[in-house]
Structures are given as structure tokens and as C-alpha cells.
Amino acid sequence: MRRLAAYEDYALRLLADHGVRVARTYGLVELTPNQEYMLVTEFFEDARNLGDSQIDDVVIDEGLAMVRTFWDIGVAHRDIKPANLLVRDGHLQLVDVSGLEVRPSPWRQAVDLSNMLLVLALRTDPERVYARATKAFTPGEIAEACASAVGLTIPTELQAKLKADGRPLLDRFRQLAPPRDRISIQRWSAQRLVLTAQAAQQTGVGNDQAHASRVTGGVAQERATDSRGHLPVSLSSRRARDLASLPGLQST
């Protein structure tokens, strides 16, 4: 429990550091040693869940900018849905950051975008959201996001709202974005088994587990980074990009 609470505390601080609108965290309180811990955070008075709010272009842009920031700083929220976005004083606030993943696969980052597009379109319409999205993302990136959205990638609450809404929002986004093959959720396939074996050989098991798990992260995930839709972006170039994204770190 302590570790979970501490992780959420860290996630809030990390996001706040990068200008994401999250609740201010005051840190952990120990309730029962080694058993119960409580994270004390700011409470947003008079905030409403996005699902119950009227939204305008300011909120749409803030939602899209939020995902752009996730991409730029190398994190994924992994649970973008109406209940985890609040609107207060006409501005968007993010909650429930305990599932934040640092250095996620590009596929997970694409899923954050597809869910944000859907959440925003539920309160408005896909044409408007798509038009705003093209200011923060390239059409190719939006197409990747739409291609990543398959069944399980959409949180249950969001799926229920989409069903109740009835409009084919995802299909409409797919029509608006350039054509792109679906990116399937990664599964064990012959190709992935071969990749896994190769990665284990190249890196030595235990020597560079992170590298190996990145490679075994699956064809689908790596494909999500590739604008041409064929070759995976090399891991070393991703590492270089990650280093370049660290604020204040000068390369030597």
C-alpha cells in the first residue's frame, strides 16, 4: 500500500512538473504502519466529471494538449475516460494517475490519444475534435491512434458511454484520418516468439531486461511508431529521443 500511494504521489508531482493540470499533492500520511497509507491531495471544489459537463474549444484543446504532453514527456495515463477528467471553471483537470506508466510503448501512448478523442467527441462531435486535434498531432498520428483503438483498449466506462450515445464516433474518426491498417493488441505470435528469442540472445537474459522486454513488447507496439507502417523505429533512436526529452539534461 505504501508503495502504491507513494507511486501516485510521484505521478502527480511528475505531471505537475510538466504543467499537466492535476491535483496538488501534499504527500503521504501513515494510518497504520506498514498497512495503511493515505495520499493527501487537493480537492477540486465545484468540479464536474467531463461526462456531465458542457465543453468548448478550450476544454477540447486542453484535452488534446494533455495527451501531447504525455507523448512529449514519455508517459501514458492508461485510463483516459470521462470519470477521470474533471471540468472546473471551464478548464480540464486530470485525476486518477495511479496507473501512469513511464516510458510506455508507443502503442499505449496512441491508445491515450484515441480514448481522449472519443471522450471529447462524446460531448461534442468528431469533426470538431478532429479539426482541433490536427493542431497538436499530425494526421498520421491521429490515424495511428484510431488504428490502436480496438475493444479492450477502451475503458469500460467509455465503452458504455459510446454505446449509450449511439453515434459511430470511432468509425467517423477513422474516416477523417488518413487510411491506416488496424493495430491489433499484441498477442503471442510466431513472429513475436522469434523476436523474443532473438532479443534474449542479443541482450543476454538479465543483462538488459528492459531492452529485451521492449523488443518483446510486440510488433504491434513498435509498428505504432512507424509513420510508414512497416519497419519498427530502432530502440537506440528511441533511447536517444528519451534522453533528449529530459529537462535540463545536456548531452555530453
84 binds ligand ADP, rule: CB under 6 A: yes
Closest distance between Mg ion and the C-beta of residue 98, in Å?
Answer: 9
Backbone phi, psi, residue 121, to 5°: -70, -30
What does 64 interact with, of Mg ion, ligand ADP, none (CB < 5 to 8 A by kind)? Answer: none
Whole-number Å distance between alpha carbons of 186 and 238:
20
Q: Which is nearer to ligand ADP, 23 or 110 (CB)?
A: 23
Q: Say which residues have a Cβ less than 8 Å from residue 157's Cβ, sequence separation at least 6.
A: 81, 82, 83
Closest distance between Mg ion and the C-beta of residue 83, in Å?
Answer: 5
23 binds ligand ADP, rule: CB under 6 A: yes
Place of cell 475516460: 81
208 binds ligand ADP, rule: CB under 6 A: no
Backbone phi, psi, residue 87, to 5°: -115, 125
> Are 56 and 90 in contact, with CB atoms under 8 Å apart?
yes
11 binds ligand ADP, rule: CB under 6 A: no
Q: Which of 94, 88, 92, 87 is nearest to 11 (CA)?
A: 94
Place of cell 486518477: 96
Place of cell 494510518: 31
What does 23 interact with, of Mg ion, ligand ADP, none (CB < 5 to 8 A by kind)? Answer: ligand ADP
Residues near Mg ion (CB under 5 A) are 84, 96
157 binds ligand ADP, rule: CB under 6 A: no
> Are 37 and 28 in contact, with CB atoms under 8 Å apart?
yes
Count of positions on this chain that bind ligand ADP (CB under 6 A): 12
49 binds ligand ADP, rule: CB under 6 A: yes
215 binds ligand ADP, rule: CB under 6 A: no
146 binds ligand ADP, rule: CB under 6 A: no
Q: Which is nearer to ligand ADP, 15 or 86 (CB)?
A: 86
> Are 149 and 115 in contact, with CB atoms under 8 Å apart?
yes
Closest distance between Mg ion and the C-beta of residue 94, in Å?
Answer: 10
DSSP 22: B
Q: Which is nearer to ligand ADP, 83 or 233 (CB)?
A: 83
The pairing of beta strand 101-102 with beta strand 48-49: unpaired
Closest distance between ligand ADP and the C-beta of residue 59, in Å?
Answer: 16
Residues forming contacts to ligand ADP in the complex (CB under 6 A) are 23, 41-44, 47, 49, 83-84, 86, 95-96
